[in-house]
Each structure stands twice: as structure tokens, then as C-alpha cells.
Amino acid sequence: MFNPSRLTAARKRHGWTLTKLAEETGISTKSLSTYENGHQEPTDQIVGLLAQKLGLAPAFLLSEEMEEIPIQAVSFRALSKMTARTRDRGLASGRIAILINDWIESRFRLPKSDLPTLSSRSPEGAAEELRVRWGLGIGPVGNLVHLLESHGVRVYTLAHNNQDLDAFCLNWHGTPFVFLGCGKSPERSRFDAAHELGHLILHGEEKEPQGASAELEANRFAAAFLMPSSGVFAQNLRNATADRILAAKKRWGVAAMALAHRANELGLMTEWCYRAACVDLSRMGYRRGEPGGLAVHESSQLLTKVLQQLRGSGSGIYEIAQDLGLAVDEVQSYLFGLTPTLLDGGGRSSSTERPRLTLVQ
Ligand SMILES: [Zn+2]
């Protein structure tokens, strides 16, 4: 049966207005809005046309109701600068990633979330406490995506059509999700992941996560979590030059600007030295990018294991795509671009027990 909520989600994830969908399909906006508000049901032929133009299989539009992600559940970095269409595109994409996650969770037992809520602590205090709880000491955090996954956070990328979108996070019926963008350097992407972890830890479901102060708190958490004060103090960064910052930032897997900011925040650099270092770093291209930085983005350990297991039982991304009515390359884009393997389409394992995935931090 046709489901109006799915048409809306499919349209929004392209960032399309009803007018744009009307242009693409030749169907009037009036008819389209009656389909979306459920006042009229499209014929099979129209469902086929809509699906084709939206890059989906008709099955996508004919499945069960899809609850939208409420806007207030998400904290966007630059909401004031963001258009409603970009925001809706991000939310609809996140919702599709959740569909993929549901599919995976119906077949695998994934780690349960053990994220504490530390909303009464300062961002720095919460970061320190989390490091202690997770046994991270004062050293660098290796792969942040793996760390999040091993603590029950589901991490997906929103590469499809979302180059301009910042990362965001969400508590979805008790499961924490982090959605990463893909237009940034690996270092900034790590900072984004830590920033979203900050929202999840500091701004649990009981606290409104939006607004400039929440953004600032998440940034302070991310800086303290990725660059713990005692570790940075040990690096001898008093009034450091840009070159010194560049040598020291490698240890933490962060952007040069982020380490300069942290050193300044910790009182290691005078305002004058900090500004001078920022001007030099900017001149060397470190404001917009990270020249000579990490070569690759972090990827998912959990999703890699899921795909390996699926391949072992004769299925894979193709099966996810088929079951959900999505295009293979779209499914792939949510899974850190993990590559599907061509398969003969053999049957799934007959065992009803869902395999448990073991994750190593
Ligand atoms: Zn944020």
C-alpha cells in the first residue's frame, strides 16, 4: 500500500520542493500534495513514475509508515545559515540511514549503548570523566568511529547528495546515532565525531540540544576529549609557533587550528602568539584544509564486519538495497562508501540466531 510519509522523505532527501518534483515528473503540485497528505492514492503507474524520478524502487513507496526525525531532536552546527531545504535533506537522509540500520539490527546483535549522561558536568569535566570511564588515559584517541561503535553508537555517513551538510547526532528511541558529512578533512571529521559525542553526553534527551551555547559546549567537549589537558601540557607548547603546532598536532589527529585553539584555551599561548600562529597557519592553507594531513578518513569497523558476514552468507549491500527499495550506490554511500562485492544471489543463512559482532576498540 502506498505510504505518503515515504514520498515526503524520498522527495526531501533530494532537497526537492513539491514544485521541483512536479517539474521532474510532469505531475501537478496539487496532485503531489494530495499524495503526500494522504488525501488521494496514486495509481501504480504514478507510483512507478515517482519512484523512477526519485531514484528508488516502487517498493520503497509501498512500505510501512516512516516516522520523520523531528527537527528539535537534532542540533545543527549552523542552523541560522542553513536553508530549510538543506536541513530537511539532512534529516530525510538520516532517516534513510536509520532504515538501513533497522535492517542490519534485524539480522545482527550490535553493541548496546553504554553512553553516560553527564549533563551536570562542564564540557571539559565530562570529557575527562568519559576518558576515565572508557580507559583512554591521556593519550590520543585512535579511531574515533570504532570507539563510538564499540560503545553502542551507530555511525553512518551522509555522503549522498549532502556535501554541504555538517555532522549531526540523534537519540532515536534509545539508540544514539551520529551522522557524519563527507566534505571535510579527516582531522575535521574526527573533531565532528567528537563534537557529536559531546552532544550525546552533555545534552541527553532531557535537555534541548539546540542553540549557540550547546554548539560551544560540544566544541569544548570535543577539544578536551581529543586533546586532554595533561597530554597537551606535556608537549611543551608554551607560546608555540605555527611550525611547532604543526609538529605537535600529528599526535592527536586533529586540525592545526584546533590544537592552536586548545593551547590558547589552556593558557599556553598569549593572545598575541595565538593570533600570530593563526595568521601563519592560515597563510599556509590550514584555515580551509589540512595540507599534508591524515591520508584517509576513518571508516566503520562495525559496518565492515556486517558486510563481511553478509557476503559469507551469500548476500550483501544488494540484498539491503533490494529489501529497502533503495539504489545500491545510495546504500553504499551511507556505509562509508564500503564497496559491495558481486554475488551470485545465493540464499541467506538459515539460522534464526542473530550473530553477535565483536568489536575491538
Ligand atoms: Zn553541534
Which of 250, 266, 283 finishes a domain?
A: 283
361 part of a folded domain: no
**Which grid coordinates belong to 135?**
580507559
Do 181 and 192 belong to one domain? Answer: yes
311 part of a folded domain: no
pLDDT above 50 for 348:
no
Quote the mean pLDDT of the chain. Answer: 90
pLDDT above 80 for 137:
yes
Do 109 and 31 belong to one domain? Answer: no
What stretches of the chain show up as alpha helix (H) in DSSP? Answer: 4-12, 18-25, 29-36, 44-53, 58-61, 84-105, 123-133, 144-150, 186-202, 212-226, 229-233, 242-249, 256-265, 271-283, 301-312, 317-324, 328-334
Residue 175 pairs in a beta bridge with 172
Per-residue pLDDT, 159: 73
- Look at 24-33, 95-104, 339-348 and tell me which has the smallest mean pLDDT: 339-348
The C-alpha atoms of residue 13 and residue 25 are separated, in whole angstroms, by 16
Do 189 and 48 belong to one domain? Answer: no
160 part of a folded domain: yes
CATH number at residue 79: 1.10.10.2910
Q: How far does residue 267's CA lie from ligand 1's centre (Å)?
A: 25
Do 37 and 150 belong to one domain? Answer: no
Which of 261, 283, 305 finishes a domain?
A: 283
pLDDT tens profile 217-265 = 999 999 999 999 999 999 989 999 999 999 999 999 999 999 999 999 9
Do 108 and 175 belong to one domain? Answer: yes
Residue 162 pairs in a beta bridge with none
Per-residue pLDDT, 206: 57
Mean pLDDT of 189-196: 95
Q: How far does residue 170's CA lie from ligand 1's centre (Å)?
A: 11
Which of 211, 226, 241 finishes a domain?
A: 226
The answer to whether 317 and 334 have CB atoms below 8 angstroms apart is no
271 part of a folded domain: yes
Per-residue pLDDT, 71: 87
DSSP state of 356: B
169 part of a folded domain: yes
Q: How far does residue 77's CA lie from ligand 1's centre (Å)?
A: 5
What distance separates the 2 farthest-apart alpha carbons in the chain?
70
Mean pLDDT of 80-98: 89
The C-alpha atoms of residue 44 and residue 13 are separated, in whole angstroms, by 22
Per-residue pLDDT, 314: 80
pLDDT above 50 for 208:
yes
Q: What is the value of pTM for the model shown?
A: 0.91
- How many domains are contained in the chain? 3
The answer to whether 195 and 218 have CB atoms below 8 angstroms apart is yes
Residue 80 burial (C-beta neighbours within 10 Å; 0-12, 13-18, 19+): exposed
CATH number at residue 13: 1.10.260.40
Do 119 and 268 belong to one domain? Answer: no
Domain limits for position 10: 1-66
Per-residue pLDDT, 169: 93
Q: How far does residue 82's CA lie from ligand 1's centre (Å)?
A: 13
pLDDT above 60 for 361:
no
Q: How far does residue 2's CA lie from ligand 1's centre (Å)?
A: 36
Do 58 and 74 belong to one domain? Answer: no
Do 72 and 171 belong to one domain? Answer: yes
pLDDT above 90 for 341:
no
The answer to whether 222 and 194 have CB atoms below 8 angstroms apart is yes
Do 101 and 16 belong to one domain? Answer: no
Q: Got the DSSP string for 37-55? A: TTSSPPPHHHHHHHHHHTT
Do 91 and 164 belong to one domain? Answer: yes
Q: How far does residue 209's CA lie from ligand 1's centre (Å)?
A: 8
Q: How far does residue 285's CA lie from ligand 1's centre (Å)?
A: 25
13 part of a folded domain: yes
344 part of a folded domain: no
pLDDT tens profile 25-67 = 999 999 999 999 999 999 999 999 999 999 999 999 999 999 9
Per-residue pLDDT, 358: 62
Do 71 and 191 belong to one domain? Answer: yes
Do 153 and 238 belong to one domain? Answer: no
pLDDT above 50 for 343:
no
Q: How far does residue 214's CA lie from ligand 1's centre (Å)?
A: 7
Tell me what percent of the residues of the chain surpass a pLDDT of 90.
Answer: 74
288 part of a folded domain: no
Q: Which residue has the cell 605555527?
A: 242
